[in-house]
């Protein structure tokens, strides 16, 4: 379905709008997005989430490849959120077409958009990397996960305006490779149980802590002791784990709430059986907020 009221941008507005951040870095004042999905309810849901994030403007929608390319040509967005499996042409094929069109028809596509795959299928992540996707978000969508994608887009746009294009792309590519490897090949951590060694899948972890001289792996309802140091565990875990305190590493996907505490510190309430709280040191507050796009 075509967007009901296409955004007609002037040549100036079609180019990326940029302003200075408080830190003096260039960053987009508005990230302009086109949504491509053959299912209208999915487009509506994603539009709702995107428009609830400050600095994001949904400038068009498309239900198929032809409409997607038309919307990109009309609106010159910063990013396209693409479904993978669609009836006429897959999102991967659309992403390839956008890259090719951007090279061959620079006048029509002055701002080749970055691609975020938004799909129910996880088996295409490697192919997504091959077409230089910035992120790969699985349905059902969650606001904080979508917000994290927007932060990645903003970081990529900042990088492009601070350094040669290839450097920004290389940084994003490196991050995506690490995320894909850890998402589909999660680390297994050795732990002691009843005199034997078991392997705990990192995807089951809520947090890891140092307690009474031992390193404890905490899942939803169990605790395991490992002989690894906290530093060893940190090196093995993926980018969705954050060292929030000298004694704690938390799984960002298991954070329920961020709670201001005292003297510039915070606590995070985690999604485990007992709704435990994990301390966040002052030095890590910035990284925690960045991880959630706050």
Place 12 in a pLDDT band, splitting at 50, 70 and 90.
very low
What was the pLDDT predicted at 24? 40
Q: Are 30 and 57 in contact (CB under 8 A)?
A: yes
- The tokens describing 205, both together, are 């972890």
Q: Are 269 and 257 in contact (CB under 8 A)?
A: yes
Query: How far is residue 4 CA from its own chain's centroid?
Result: 29
Share of the chain above pLDDT 70, in %: 76
The more confidently predicted of residues 244 and 15 is 244
What was the pLDDT predicted at 254? 92
91-130: per-residue pLDDT in tens? Answer: 888 888 777 654 444 444 446 789 999 888 777 776 776 6
Q: Same domain for 90 and 36? A: yes
State which of 153, 183, 213 marks the end of a domain. 183
Mean pLDDT of 50-58: 94
125-142: per-residue pLDDT in tens? Answer: 767 766 778 888 888 899
78 lies in a domain?
A: yes
1 lies in a domain?
A: no
Q: Same domain for 160 and 19? A: yes
When the pLDDT of each residue in the chain is averaged and rounded to a whole number, the result is 78
What was the pLDDT predicted at 147? 93
What was the pLDDT predicted at 87? 75
State which of 183, 208, 233 marks the end of a domain. 183
Place 175 in a pLDDT band, splitting at 50, 70 and 90.
low
The more confidently predicted of residues 138 and 22 is 138
Mean pLDDT of 256-284: 87
Q: Same domain for 236 and 213? A: yes
- Please report the sign of the dihedral spanned by the C-alpha atoms of residue 187, residue 257, residue 291, residue 117: positive
Residue 90 has pLDDT above 70, yes or no: yes
5 lies in a domain?
A: no
Mean pLDDT of 39-44: 94
Q: Same domain for 178 and 199? A: no
Q: Same domain for 211 and 116? A: no
Residue 93 belongs to domain with CATH number: 3.40.50.2300
Q: Same domain for 167 and 25? A: yes
Residue 167 has pLDDT above 70, yes or no: no
Q: Same domain for 164 and 256? A: no
Segments forming the whole domain that contains residue 153: 11-183
C-alpha Rg value of the chain to the nearest Å? 21
Q: Same domain for 68 and 167? A: yes
Beta strands 79-82 and 31-36, pairing class: parallel
Q: Same domain for 151 and 42? A: yes
Residue 28 has pLDDT above 80, yes or no: no
HEC string of the chain equals CCCCCCCCCCHHHHCCCEEECCCCCEEECCEEEEEECCCHHHHHHHHHHHHCCCCEEEEEEECCHHHHHHHHHHHCCCEEEECCCCCCCCHHHHHHHHHHHHHHCCCCCCCCCEEEEEECCCCCHHHHHHCCCCEEEECCCCHHHHHHHHHHHHHHHHHHCCCCHHHHHHHHHHHHHHHHHHHHCCCEEEEEECCEEEEEEHHHCCEEEEECCEEEEECCCCEEEECCCHHHHHHHCCCCEEEEECCEEEEHHHEEEEEECCCCCEEEEECCCCCCEEEECHHHHHHHHHHCCC
Beta strands 56-62 and 31-36, pairing class: parallel
Q: CA–CA separation, 234 vs 45, rounded Å?
A: 35
15 lies in a domain?
A: yes
Q: Same domain for 86 and 200? A: no
70 lies in a domain?
A: yes
What was the pLDDT predicted at 11? 27
Q: Same domain for 176 and 216? A: no
80 burial type by CB count under 10 A (0-12 exposed, 13-18 middle, 19+ buried): buried
Q: Same domain for 33 and 133? A: yes
Residue 232 belongs to domain with CATH number: 2.40.50.1020
Place 165 in a pLDDT band, splitting at 50, 70 and 90.
very low
| pTM: predicted TM-score of the whole model, two decimal places | 0.48
Q: Are 137 and 118 in contact (CB under 8 A)?
A: yes
Number of domains in the chain: 2
Mean pLDDT of 21-35: 65
Q: How far apart are the first and last CA of the chain?
A: 34
**Which of 75-84, 102-111, 164-173, 180-189 has maximum average pLDDT?**
75-84
3 lies in a domain?
A: no
Q: CA–CA separation, 133 vs 125, rounded Å?
A: 9
State which of 127, 160, 183 marks the end of a domain. 183
What was the pLDDT predicted at 159? 65
């Amino acid at each position: 379905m075509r967007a009901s009221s296409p955004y007609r941008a002037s040549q100036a507005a079609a180019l990326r709008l940029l302003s200075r951040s408080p830190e003096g870095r260039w960053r987009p004042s508005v990230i302009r997005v086109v949504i491509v999905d053959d299912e209208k309810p999915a487009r509506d849901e994603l539009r709702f989430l995107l428009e609830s994030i400050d600095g994001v403007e949904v400038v068009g929608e498309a239900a198929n490849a032809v409409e997607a390319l038309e919307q990109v040509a009309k609106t010159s967005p910063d990013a396209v959120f693409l479904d993978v499996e669609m009836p006429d042409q897959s999102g991967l094929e659309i992403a390839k077409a956008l890259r090719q069109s951007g090279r061959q028809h620079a006048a029509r596509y002055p701002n080749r958009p970055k691609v975020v795959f938004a799909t129910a299928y996880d088996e295409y992540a490697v192919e997504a990397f091959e077409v230089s996707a910035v992120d790969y978000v699985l349905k059902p969508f969650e606001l904080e996960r979508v917000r994290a994608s927007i932060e990645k887009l903003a970081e990529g746009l900042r990088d492009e305006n601070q350094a040669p294009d290839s450097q920004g792309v290389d940084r994003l590519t490196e991050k995506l490779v690490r995320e894909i490897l850890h998402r589909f090949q999660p680390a297994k951590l050795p732990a002691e149980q009843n005199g034997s060694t078991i392997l705990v899948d990192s995807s089951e972890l809520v947090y890891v802590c140092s307690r009474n001289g031992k390193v404890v792996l905490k899942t939803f309802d169990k605790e395991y002791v490992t002989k690894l140091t906290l530093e060893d565990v940190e090196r093995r875990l993926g980018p969705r784990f954050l060292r929030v305190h000298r004694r704690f590493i938390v799984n960002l996907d298991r954070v329920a709430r961020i709670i201001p505490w005292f003297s510039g510190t915070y606590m995070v309430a985690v999604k485990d059986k007992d709704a435990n709280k994990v301390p966040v040191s002052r030095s890590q507050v910035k990284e925690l907020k960045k991880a959630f796009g706050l």
